[in-house]
Amino acid sequence: MWGLLRRRSPSGFSPSSTAEEVTAGIDGSGLVALITGASSGIGAETCRVLVMRGVHVVMGVRNLSAGACVRDEILKQVPSAKIDILNLDLSSMSSVRRFAENFKALNLPLNILINNAGVCFVPFKLSEDGIELHFATNHVGHFLLTDLLIEKMKVTAIESGKEGRVVMVASVSYSFSYRGGIRFDKINDESGFLAYGQSKLANILHSNLLSSHLKEQDAKVIVNSLHPGAVATNILHHWCPLYGAIRAIGKYFVKGVEQGAATVCYVALHPQVAGVTGKYFSDCNITELKSHALDRDLAKRLWDFSLSLIR
């Protein structure tokens, strides 16, 4: 794979490391992970690899049929796999609330929450709640889901004696959000490019401030965000002029899902991340953020605005 040469790094992993490689030898037995967007792309690969390591996975998916296909394929590889599937449309707050109730009805603990699902470069559209679709799906849906489940994670951490982990899948595209000024309350980008970048910035700001809140509460739950790398998945299908070309030649320039899911699985499961919180990872290593992604005042304004939307 072009450009993905192995190199020395603090974690010992590189852009070409796969999710299987970064979790080799890790026993996830007894852990329960919830993964949004687990029916395709890096979400499906994350589900497969965590299940291989003994984790009980709950898939949050918009398409139940696609989710069932992923589960069936995993069961062929790992017959003993523990996988549940629940319907989840992150663009709809009512769907997120139903999902949270359905998850709680399973009477499972929750050790790991992976906020992975997202839309990318969708033409301007409002969700059923009247919110720009990127912001509604990528940020507000995950903000609400995390808010509804964080107490269960804190209780699980206490009862199990195992640190809880919240994983926010963001993107390097957050850096583009600054070009047009940051206005989460007014997004009308027709191309979806700026809107996507701002939703990814929101993921990082949410992660950073949630991490701070949990530290103040002395909760045994860490929160980190990450960039999975450039991965040719169907999240780009709305970007019609380039999608076909990316799918055709992408394997020569970008990661496959096996590499794309590596940092997600690393942050979710690896012992090296124990106790590390409020950080941003890329290629399984901590990476410095741009200044606006570290802006605490902006993070507080986003938090208050997000609360006003979900309450």
Cα gap 294→306, rounded to integer Å:
18
Q: Residue 254's pLDDT band (boundaries 50, 70, 90)?
A: confident
Query: Is the pLDDT score of 250 beyond 60?
Result: no
Contact yes or no for 187/200 (Cβ under 8 A): no
Q: What is the pLDDT of residues 279-301, one digit of tens each?
A: 999 999 999 999 999 999 999 99
Of the candidate ranges 115-124, 173-182, 216-225, 230-239, the one whose mean pLDDT is the lowest:
230-239
Span 123-134, mean pLDDT? 95
Cα gap 24→43, rounded to integer Å:
19
Span 202-208, mean pLDDT? 97
CB atoms closer than 10 angstroms to residue 238: 14
Contact yes or no for 264/169 (Cβ under 8 A): yes
Tell which residue, 200, 151, 157, has the closest CA to residue 177: 200
Of the candidate ranges 3-7, 94-98, 119-123, 253-257, the one whose mean pLDDT is the lowest:
3-7
Q: Residue 174's pLDDT band (boundaries 50, 70, 90)?
A: confident
| 243 counts as catalytic | no
pLDDT of residue 171: 84
Q: What percent of the chain has pLDDT over 90?
A: 81
Which of 196, 243, 266, 280 is catalytic? The answer is 196
Strand partners, 113: 34, 166
Span 205-215, mean pLDDT? 98
Q: What are the structural domains, with CATH classification, of the chain?
A: 19-310 (3.40.50.720)
Q: Residue 248's pLDDT band (boundaries 50, 70, 90)?
A: low
The strand pair at 280-282 and 285-286 is best described as antiparallel
Question: Crossing angle of helices 41-52/64-77, nearest 10°?
Answer: 40
pLDDT of residue 65: 98
Give the global pTM.
0.92
- What the block records as the tokens of 286 is 């901590």
CB atoms closer than 10 angstroms to residue 74: 21
pLDDT of residue 139: 98
pLDDT of residue 4: 45
Query: Is the pLDDT score of 22 beyond 70?
Result: yes
Q: What percent of the chain has pLDDT over 70?
A: 86
Tell which residue, 6, 5, 149, has the closest CA to residue 88: 149
Cα gap 206→199, rounded to integer Å:
10
Span 98-115, mean pLDDT? 98
Mean pLDDT of the chain: 90
pLDDT of residue 237: 47
Span 95-116, mean pLDDT? 98
